[in-house]
Every structure is written in structure tokens, then in C-alpha cells.
Chain A
């Protein structure tokens, strides 16, 4: 077996995860999205990160 079918299966799986995600998540709204750059946006950083503890 070559690497090609592994990549195809993986990419199909990622596409499947995204499809299910879009079907079960809140609708996307680009008009309330944050600006392109966090730097100079005046907004507090709010993303989740591996180093974050709940409440920190």
C-alpha cells in the first residue's frame, strides 16, 4: 500500500468532521466576527489555548 489512500481517508475524515460541525454548531456570522488582526484591535484576546486553565 502507498501513502496516497491514507491521505485521502484522512482528508475525507477532516471534511466529515467539518460537515458535522457545521450541522450541529451555532450558525456562522461573519458580521460579528473579530477583526483580521488581534494586534491594534482594542479587543481582549479571547481564544482557547493549551496553556489556559478554566477561569484563567
Chain B
């Protein structure tokens, strides 16, 4: 094929890509003009996260699965490097701006630990955690697309009952801070890296270039999120809010829920989603992943079929992902990524419980018809 023919074929594709980027920028500008510049910036940050995670195949669920099943440490090491990079910037920022910026700090408790365990199990069943479900659905993964609405409903329901669950018993909020806190966090992250490298098979320890790039980009965007929003990156609050707004519009009374009747959440329900931090980054994640998948021709891939019991499992696991993440005070992003990088001890408790749950989730998948039995 001649160079001229190749160029003639590439031209419409390049035009299409340029138009898609322009459309994404126009959407962010429109949000900035309608709602305010901070909200337009947050949509752009979400788009960047979606593009980076889908384009560079950076995630949380897959790397845990690969470490447990195939002793491949690369993805887990990339996560820890990314969290460490955010912590190096976030700790001093939080210390010097205690009013304007807040960390993802939450109490460790029975429901929190149980919620993280269930979340870890379910994220392996659907092969998607908080961010991964949005990214996978955005790139056309049918399992994630089916799980997502039930994730939203579960997040709403978990928040509805949250105070009952926390009443079962919680410790006071504990968070590391200052230079000593940062040093301890980095040592703990390095210890996880050390364990992952120790159990990894030879040849499955060195990070490929794309994971280095992804860790740097995602860390940069997460720090930017903290600077712009005043709070760390989160996912599941927004998903529950979408359902809360929907049922309220249909006439439901949420005064029976301590969580949804709290003044701050009533205001969120009354205000537009275009002024909600986690909703904007969630929408950005979906759209950014769709853009990245379309960019590399991933949308023409065939969808894999599953038996009916597998789809029932996906629906139940999707609901439980949402419900349990509210009890756990976040998913892999709100609790693990943002909790640990801002010093919260609940982030570490979440990690331990969710990783244990993941081990069981991986064992369950073949029995639910989601993959062949090994």
C-alpha cells in the first residue's frame, strides 16, 4: 500500500480524534461557564484519569488478581509508587493548609473492616473496583456496565444505613501527619512493595514503561484534585448521590436516613451534579475511558458471553460493591488511595481487609460461571 493511501486513511481518523478532544474540552468549558471554573477543572481531571487508566491499563483489581494468581507484582508496585508520590506532596500540603484542604480520614470499625472485606471479594467477582468499574464500563466492558447501576443503588442504600452500621462500634479517627507520619507511610508502602517483590516470580517484578508513566500521571492528577477540590479523589459518594437525587425527584422522603437527611447531603441533593466533586470526576472517568478505548480501536472488540447465573452474580456483586464501600468509608480510591496518601489509618485497615476478601473473590469467580474452573 502506498504512503499516499495510508495517509488518506489516517486523515479522517486524525480529524475524528481532534474533534473528540475538542468536544471534551468544550464540555469542560461549558461546565466551567455554567457552574464555575472549579467544576470545569474537576471534569477535566476526571477525563485525564479515565484516559490514563484506560490508555495505560492502570488499575487496582487486575494487579491484585495477577499478584495472587500469577505472582506478578508489577501492577501492585505501580499502585504503591503512585500512592507514595501523592503522599509526598499531600502530607505537607495538608499540614500547611488545614482549613482549605482535608484528608480522606475516617474511623476504623467493625462495619468498616467487614465492608472492605466484602468489597474486596466483590471487586474480584466483577473484575472492577470503584474506579475500575467506571473505567471498564466506559470502555465497553459489559460486566462492568451491568454492575454499574447496581453499584449506584448499593452506594445509596449503604449510605442510607451508614450510621446504623457505624453504631456497631468504631475507633476514633486516627491519621498520621507531619514528617514522622509521612516517613511511616512511605516505609509501610515500601514494605508492601518488598513483600510483593518477594512473592513475585522472576521476570514479573520490573515495571514496564507504561506503568511508570501511569503512576506519574495518576499521582499528578490526584494531587491536582486535592489542590482544586480541597479534598482527595473519591468515587462512591457521587454514585449514591445520583440515586438519591433520582428517588427524591420521584417523590421519595429520605428523612428516615441520618445520612441523607444531614444538611450537607440535603444541599448536595438539591444542587446540580455539575457542582458535586465526585460526580464530576466519575463522569470524567467514564468519558475519558470511552475516549481512550475509541482512540485505540478497542470498541470493535467482541463482548464475551456468560451464563445466566453469572449475570445474577454480577448484579448482586455490583449492589454489594456500592453498599460495602459506603460502610468501608470508600473504595480503592476513597479509602485505599486517598486514605493512605493522606495518612488515614482506615486506608491501611481497608487494604488488609479488601486484599483478604479479594483472595476469596478470585476463588469464587469460577463457581459463579464467570470463568472456567482451574
Contacts and interface: CB of A to CB of B under 8 A. Distances in A.
A16 to B, nearest CB: 11
A21 B244 CA distance: 11
A22 B273 CA distance: 8
Given A33-B37, A39-B230, A51-B330, A7 B102 contact: no
Nearest to B248: A24
B371 interface: no
Interface residues of B, number: 85
Contacts of A34: 36, 38
B48 interface: no
Given A10-B137, A28-B274, A36-B41, A55 B262 contact: yes
A36 B162 CA distance: 32
A6 B99 contact: no
A37 B227 contact: yes
B34 A28 contact: yes
Nearest to A35: B38
Chain A interface mostly: loop
Contacts of B5: none
A30 B33 CA distance: 7
B270 A26 contact: yes
A56 B264 CA distance: 10
Contacts of A7: 138-140, 290, 293-294, 299
B86 interface: no
A30 B270 contact: no
B227 A39 contact: yes
A49 B137 CA distance: 22
Interface in B94-111: 97, 99-102, 104-107
Contacts of A53: 106-107, 162-163, 166, 329
B34 A30 contact: yes
A6 B299 CA distance: 9
A43 B140 CA distance: 40
Interface residues of A, number: 44
A55 B266 CA distance: 12
Contacts of A2: 140, 299-303
Interface string B238-261: 000110011001000000001100
B270 A49 contact: no
Contacts of B258: 54
A46 B338 CA distance: 17
A41 B286 CA distance: 29
A55 B259 CA distance: 9
B93 A39 contact: yes
A4 B300 contact: yes
B35 interface: yes
Contact of A50 (B99, B137, B236, B264): B236
Interface of B: 32-39, 41, 93, 97, 99-102, 104-107, 137-142, 145, 148, 162-163, 166, 173, 226-232, 234-237, 241-242, 245-246, 249, 258-259, 262, 264-265, 268, 270-278, 283, 286-287, 290, 293-294, 298-303, 325-326, 329-331, 334-335, 338-339, 344, 346
Across chains A and B, which 7 residue pairs bring their CB atoms closest together, nearest first?
A: A33-B36, A3-B140, A38-B230, A54-B262, A50-B334, A45-B230, A50-B330
27 contacts: A2-B301, A3-B139, A3-B140, A6-B145, A6-B303, A10-B138, A20-B246, A26-B270, A35-B37, A37-B38, A38-B231, A39-B100, A41-B230, A43-B100, A45-B102, A45-B230, A49-B277, A49-B334, A51-B105, A51-B106, A51-B234, A51-B329, A51-B330, A51-B339, A52-B237, A53-B106, A53-B329
Given A48-B237, A48-B241, 8 more contacts: A2-B301, A3-B293, A10-B145, A26-B271, A30-B34, A36-B38, A50-B335, A51-B335
